[in-house]
Homo-oligomer: A and B are copies of this chain.
Amino acid sequence: MAATIYDVAKKAGVGIGTVSRAINNSPQINPSTKDRILGVARELNYQPHALAQSLARKKTFTIASVVPFFTNYFFIELLRSVQHALSRSNYDLILYSVDRMDRSDTTLERVLSERRSDGVLIISIGLNDAYAGKFIAANIPVVLIDHMHFQIDSIAIANREGAYSATEHLIALGHQRIGMIDGHLSSYPAILRLEGFKKAMLEHNLVFDDRHLIICDAQAGEHGFNEVAGYLAMKRLIAQNDILPTALFVASDVQALGVMRAAKEAGVRIPEDIALVGFDDIEFAKFVGLTTMRQPIAMMGQMAVERLLERIHGDQQGDFHHKLKAELIVRETCGSRKGFHVQAES
């Protein structure tokens, strides 16, 4: 069995309180006894038991992340950055997955009741007022990523503005007949991106054909933000239109990948026949040359962690609703209008 604090105390001939002070380097201890105790501890290979510490301190040094597992590479890249940001602290990360968006409640309930964590990161999941209230009542700091709630800290992308920019890029390229493929409108970002798209069209006096808008089906609460949904949407677009749009704004990169696959199958060339702009800039967008709106994913993860940690430490008060701007990354799927917006890329 592993050594406990009592073993160390006995062997060092001191009380357990003193050992505790030694290992937590409290100032209330004589440096020489401290050294001696640390020596004994090393000898015994003593390691404090994290759980016991948590119980006594009422602090777990763990943060929870609630993630829709794993429908979209966006989450993964976010998680990576969260983990990265966290690795500089000594907090552990515990993962709560929600497998169906429409059943996120049970997961949230679990996070709340287990009390394993000092703070929670909720990714791409809407928090209703009831749960927001519960977290506030339980005094557990929460940061929402890619979603909003008026009472809860959040960090999200400016979706409407991003969609606007994407569409505007297409318009600037001379396109007039522009379509859009969106996620299901049960998703908040999907709504906003559609709004941004429509706004851009309107402000540039372009009419937009309803048949050129395809909303992906939601499945298992997934909002259609996946490759297959994009593929299917593109097939539908091609099937139901005699004249295709000359340009397409797709609400996410994974969907755009599906669009490209369907286009290829149908002999529709990109960008020659249809120009394409995505959204997210997941890692693979670069590999396939997809023009897209870059979400600063890594930045979002890092900021969220920093904010959460601050909240945990009680440093910060006041609301925090950060909105990051998406940035247009021009690659090849809109034709070689390189230099239209110069971007440094590694």
Residues of A within 8 A of B (CB): 2, 47-52, 54-55, 60, 62, 69-70, 76, 79-80, 83-84, 87, 92-97, 99, 112-116, 138, 227, 257-258, 260-261, 283-284, 287-288
**Which residue of chain B has the shortest Cβ distance to A114 in the bound complex?**
B50
Bound complex: CA of A132 vs CA of B227, how far in Å? Answer: 41
- Determine which of B49, B69, B92, B227 lies in contact with A115 in the assembled complex, contact meaning CB atoms within 8 Å: B49
- Chain B residues with Cβ below 8 Å from A288 are 288
- Chain B residues with Cβ below 8 Å from A48 are 113
Given contacts A51-B55, A261-B287, A288-B288, contact A92 B114 (CB under 8 A): yes
- Chain B residues with Cβ below 8 Å from A54 are 51
Q: Is the CB of B70 within 8 A of A76?
A: yes
**Which residue of chain B has the shortest Cβ distance to A50 in the bound complex?**
B114
Q: Is the CB of B80 within 8 A of A69?
A: yes
Copy count, this protein chain: 2
Bound complex: CA of A116 vs CA of B112, how far in Å? Answer: 19
Q: Is the CB of A92 within 8 A of B116?
A: yes
Bound complex: CA of A114 vs CA of B258, how far in Å? Answer: 44
- Chain B residues with Cβ below 8 Å from A87 are 97, 99
Q: How far is the CB of A50 from chain B (nearest CB, A)?
A: 4
Interchain Cβ contacts under 8 Å between A and B, 23 examples = A2-B115, A47-B115, A48-B113, A49-B114, A49-B115, A50-B115, A51-B51, A51-B54, A51-B55, A51-B115, A52-B55, A69-B84, A70-B79, A70-B80, A84-B97, A87-B99, A92-B114, A92-B116, A93-B94, A94-B95, A95-B95, A258-B287, A284-B284
Q: Is the CB of A92 within 8 A of B84?
A: no
Q: Is the CB of A92 within 8 A of B96?
A: yes
- Chain B residues with Cβ below 8 Å from A94 are 62, 92-95
With a 10 A CB-CB cut-off, give which of A92, A138, A258, A261 has the most chain B CB atoms. A92
Bound complex: CA of A60 vs CA of B51, how far in Å? Answer: 9
Q: Is the CB of B83 within 8 A of A50?
A: no
Q: How far is the CB of A243 from chain B (nearest CB, A)?
A: 27
Bound complex: CA of A115 vs CA of B46, how far in Å? Answer: 12
Q: How far is the CB of A297 from chain B (nearest CB, A)?
A: 12
Q: How far is the CB of A275 from chain B (nearest CB, A)?
A: 19
